[in-house]
Amino acid sequence: MPFGHIVIGPPGSGKTTYCNGMHQFLSALGRKTVVVNLDPANESMQYECAVNIEDLITLDDAMDAYQLGPNGGMVYCIEYLEKNMQWLLDRLAEHEDCYFIFDCPGQVELYTHNQAIKNIVRRLEKSDFRLACVHLVDASYCTEASRFISVLLLSLTTMTMLEMPHINALSKIDLLNQMGQLDFNLEYYTTVMDLDYLLHHLNNGHETGEKFASLNRAICELIEDFSMVGFSTLCITDKHSVAALLKEIDKANGYIFGALTEGNESILLAANATDMLTEARNAQARYGLLTKAPTDADADASESDDVGVLRGKKSGIDNLVERLTIKEHAQTTTSPSRSKADEIP
């Protein structure tokens, strides 16, 4: 019963960097991991690729043969893979007792209205793969109300389209301060609280806001009616951030309920150890994220929590993470506020 997760997200959200970092992190934990590249346009793979779609079809071949543009060629390649799923299954079968990470293309139409990725996932599930979806979104979208609303709509559409265990993650959270300040505390964006507050900024922060006030309200109400979207935070160079996200993934795909391995000794502790609200507050404090107008209530909430410390007993993964010492990658951009011991390559 193979476990794994697929990695999706818009271009530039950090999918390939995530796959590289998560592969090294899982390997350091002792989990045998294989990365599968399903992106025929991925020209800068930072990781060792065990299965590569380019061995089946390349984007250039599709574009040249059918006179397609980059997006059309990408869709053709994925649909071609869907028609040749046995090729993929045979390649995956060569790697027994492995955990799989699938690096997927960044074209959002593949997850919003095209059925190819959904059908590929269904075929893998019928072959007894236990998968979850990790949807990466650049954290910079939180700095502007209109951009954050668009991300919420994209995440909601993707979740309803793929119909599989789903984790949305705000990537590059450590770089958020370089992109602007937040209107609210980070936990507001991760838990997607009352969108009426965001609606105020949406209507007043843009020259056409008042003109489309009714449309903006309808969109916010739609998102709230589904009540499905929430976000984890991720800094791929911070081992504690990666560990917190990994526990969410392991719960989503059922890995924690599988065979007990090192780092997975207590199923109950692993299932209950992660509090994403606390993680959001910890991330805001750890990376020094600023808000435009912090309130007294926000300050009280921050002071009431022990930043950086999860309450209760630590799970097996936490204990292993504390012992990890992983060298910094030469190309990794580090934050001066964190030590190298807190980073993965």
pLDDT tens digit sequence for 277-296: 777 777 777 777 666 654 44
Dist CA 343 CA 324 (whole Å): 10
Residue with tokens 């020094």, as numbered in its chain = 288
Question: Cβ(48)–Cβ(86) under 8 Å?
Answer: no
Please tell me the predicted confidence (pLDDT) of residue 322: 61
Task: Label residue 312 exposed, middle or buried (CB < 10 Å: 0-12, 13-18, 19+).
Answer: exposed
Total domain count, the chain: 2
Please tell me the predicted confidence (pLDDT) of residue 341: 38
Co-location of 331 and 250 in the same domain: yes
Please tell me the predicted confidence (pLDDT) of residue 226: 94
Residue 328 has pLDDT above 80, yes or no: no
Please tell me the predicted confidence (pLDDT) of residue 297: 39
Co-location of 90 and 146 in the same domain: yes
Co-location of 187 and 205 in the same domain: no
Co-location of 118 and 98 in the same domain: yes
Residue 174 is part of a domain; what is its CATH number?
3.40.50.300
Q: Provide the greatest CA pair distance for the chain.
A: 62
Report pLDDT digits (tens) over 222-251.
999 999 999 999 999 999 999 999 999 999
Residue 81: pLDDT band by 50, 70, 90 thresholds?
very high
Co-location of 204 and 177 in the same domain: no
From 140-149, 188-197, 253-262, the region with the lowest mean pLDDT: 253-262
Please tell me the predicted confidence (pLDDT) of residue 262: 52
Residue 264 has pLDDT above 70, yes or no: no
Distances (CA, A) of 197 to 173, 183, 224: 22, 10, 13
Please tell me the predicted confidence (pLDDT) of residue 318: 58
Range of the domain at 203: 199-227
Please tell me the predicted confidence (pLDDT) of residue 340: 38
Co-location of 149 and 49 in the same domain: yes
Co-location of 209 and 325 in the same domain: no
Please tell me the predicted confidence (pLDDT) of residue 278: 74
Co-location of 175 and 209 in the same domain: no
Query: Average of pLDDT values for 94-108?
Result: 94
The pair of structure tokens assigned to 325 is: 């010492």
- Count of beta carbons in the 10 Å neighbourhood of residue 330: 6
Co-location of 261 and 334 in the same domain: yes
Task: Report the candidate in 158, 88, 102 with the shortest Cα–Cα distance to residue 130.
Answer: 102
